Amino acid sequence: MNEPEQVSSVGDSEQESLFQILRRMGPAAPLAVLSASMPALGGLVLLWNIEVIATWLRGHGALGVVVYTAAFIVLSGFALLPTYAQAILGGWAFGTAIGLPAALLGFGGGAIIGYTLSRRVASDKVMEVIETKPKWKAVRDALIESGRLKELGLITLVRIPPNSPFAFMNLLLGSTRTHPLLFLVGTMVGMAPRTAVAVFLAAQTRAQFSASEFRDEVSMPRWMFIASIVITLIAFFIIAHIANKAIQRLTAGPEAREEA
């Protein structure tokens, strides 16, 4: 007699509105809203002024790189700017050779800030909400109940897809009490492919703009530029597809894994 009631309660919990979920998250709710809304607004402002900001950063040499990295850490850690826009700025201002490592350092520092905030402010409430969501609970269980190597692998995989929000994943991973070192390593490795894509494309695009303004500069042919963008994006989305499939397998129950 109790089984139908249990099934019904799970179904009801899956159909909860976003507002109901946020209410139950308590102190975590403002962090969730901030991480979901602020980066998009800040990103528009950054990209609109990208040439002005990039010119200032380049004009200050090594100090510009330090300022860029420090700003990336703070702004991404507190979910004030999207990581994509900041990675694009790195490639636009410094090129791939300098922009990529600077952006990755920014990701790492920002992730530590987000992780620390989540564990101190939001952990218990988020865990309560996760307990009512079977799919979320499956991810949580795969993260913290299956050994360190699998935990590292899953953290890395959830960071790879392009639709994986940086700030919100900091909130969830921090709240589920993942190991700090595994969280940092998995974040850095998982974010590397999409960061490299954003930095590379920004650097190449700016090089083309510069070549069109100064005719004496040597640039790659237009067809080669377009082909490099297409190949880079195809390769990245193949990696993201493989990562999503791996996540589904890691978080599936024993029955699903046997069928697969």
Question: Largest alpha-carbon pair distance within the chain?
Answer: 81
State pTM to two decimals.
0.72
- Kindly report the number of other CB atoms within 10 A of residue 166's CB atom: 23
Q: Is residue 222 part of a domain?
A: yes
Phi-psi bin for 193: left (phi > 0), alpha (psi -120 to 50), beta? alpha
Q: Is residue 132 part of a domain?
A: yes
Per-residue confidence (pLDDT) for residue 13, from 0 to 100: 41
Per-residue confidence (pLDDT) for residue 126, from 0 to 100: 66
Query: If we measure between CA atoms, which residue out of 159, 161, 163, 164 comes closest to residue 183?
Result: 159
Q: Is residue 139 part of a domain?
A: yes
DSSP string, 144-196: HSS-HHHHHHHHHHHHSSTT--HHHHHHHHHHTT--HHHHHHHHHHHHHHHHH
Phi-psi bin for 177: left (phi > 0), alpha (psi -120 to 50), beta? left
For residues 145 and 222, give the distance between their C-alpha atoms in angstroms, rounded to a whole number: 51
Q: Is residue 20 part of a domain?
A: no
Angle at 237 between CA 175 and CA 71, to 5 degrees: 50
Q: Is residue 18 part of a domain?
A: no
- Kindly report the number of other CB atoms within 10 A of residue 161's CB atom: 18
Return per-residue pLDDT of the chain as tens, 260 residues. 444 444 333 334 444 554 455 455 555 555 555 555 556 667 778 888 899 999 999 999 999 999 999 999 998 888 788 888 899 999 999 999 999 999 999 999 999 998 888 777 766 666 766 666 666 666 667 776 667 888 888 889 888 887 777 877 887 788 777 889 999 999 999 999 889 989 998 998 888 776 555 444 445 566 666 676 677 677 767 777 777 777 677 666 544 444 44
Q: Is residue 55 part of a domain?
A: yes
The amino acid sitting at 75 is: L
For residues 146 and 157, give the distance between their C-alpha atoms in angstroms, rounded to a whole number: 15
Per-residue confidence (pLDDT) for residue 18, from 0 to 100: 45
Q: Is residue 80 part of a domain?
A: yes
Q: Which residue has the tokens 């700090």?
A: 180
The amino acid sitting at 65 is: V
Instruction: Count how many domains the chain has.
Output: 1
For residues 89 and 244, give the distance between their C-alpha atoms in angstroms, rounded to a whole number: 27
Q: Is residue 260 part of a domain?
A: no
Per-residue confidence (pLDDT) for residue 195, from 0 to 100: 92
Query: If we measure between CA atoms, which residue out of 246, 111, 95 comes closest to residue 186?
Result: 111
In terms of residue numbers, what domain contains 226?
25-253
